[in-house]
């Protein structure tokens, strides 16, 4: 399994930039809220742990993961925000809704990052069932919120 081979929750914290003056925009989907709250806490705590100031972390919610793209765009267009982190959980059901949502979010977030020339981090957990989601929200596969925050910090090496 890919995440067993490369779990960014145990990322290398060498050579991370000084983020004490950087501003972070978190957009968090409320669908599967208990799990997305856990991802968000992981991201938030990781940013603080690496020197971000609480007043520089903006947290916004959207109803579901499909809305992450627009939420990310509102954040990314602000000169106040250096990097956007999008967090959501899409769990497979009986129909193919998960495919449509996940593809839309992946493409949408990519476009927002390119449009605003700003890192937009893909923190969408896409699983077959709820247990797999919890496994990735503080469980045996780490916390993808922590990984999203670590990725955001690493990408700030690219931002002036």
- Examine residue 33 and tell whether it contacts ligand RBF (CB under 6 A): no
Q: Least CB distance from residue 88 to ligand RBF, whole Å?
A: 5
Give the chain's end-to-end CA distance (angstroms, integer): 36
Q: Check whether 136 is labelled as a binding-site residue.
A: yes
User: CB–CB of 12/72 below 8 Å?
Assistant: no
| Closest to ligand RBF by CB, 89 or 156 | 89
Q: Least CB distance from residue 68 to ligand RBF, whole Å?
A: 8
- Examine residue 74 and tell whether it contacts ligand RBF (CB under 6 A): no
Candidates 67, 85, 123, 144; binder of ligand RBF (CB under 6 A) is: 67
d(CA 107, CA 112): 9
Q: Least CB distance from residue 70 to ligand RBF, whole Å?
A: 10
Q: How many residues in the shown chain lie near ligand RBF by CB under 6 A?
A: 15
User: CB–CB of 46/150 below 8 Å?
Assistant: yes
Torsion angle in degrees (nearest 10) through CA of 139, 101, 83, 1: 40
d(CA 79, CA 77): 6
- Name the residues that contact ligand RBF, by CB under 6 A: 29, 31-32, 63-67, 88-91, 93, 97, 101
């Amino acid at each position: 399994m890919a995440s067993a081979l490369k779990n960014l929750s145990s990322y290398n914290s060498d050579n991370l930039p000084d983020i004490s003056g950087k501003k972070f925009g978190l957009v968090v989907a409320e669908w599967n809220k208990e799990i997305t709250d856990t991802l968000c806490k992981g991201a938030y705590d990781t940013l603080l742990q690496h020197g971000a100031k609480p007043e520089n972390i903006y947290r916004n919610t959207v109803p579901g993961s499909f809305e992450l793209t627009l939420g990310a765009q509102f954040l990314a267009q602000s000169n106040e925000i250096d990097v956007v982190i999008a967090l959501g959980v899409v769990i497979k059901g009986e129909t193919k809704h998960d495919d449509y949502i996940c593809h839309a979010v992946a493409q949408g977030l990519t476009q927002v990052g390119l449009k605003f020339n700003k890192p937009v981090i893909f923190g969408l957990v896409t699983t077959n069932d709820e247990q797999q989601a919890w496994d990735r929200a503080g469980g045996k596969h780490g916390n993808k919120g922590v990984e999203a925050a670590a990725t955001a910090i690493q990408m700030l090496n690219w931002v002036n």
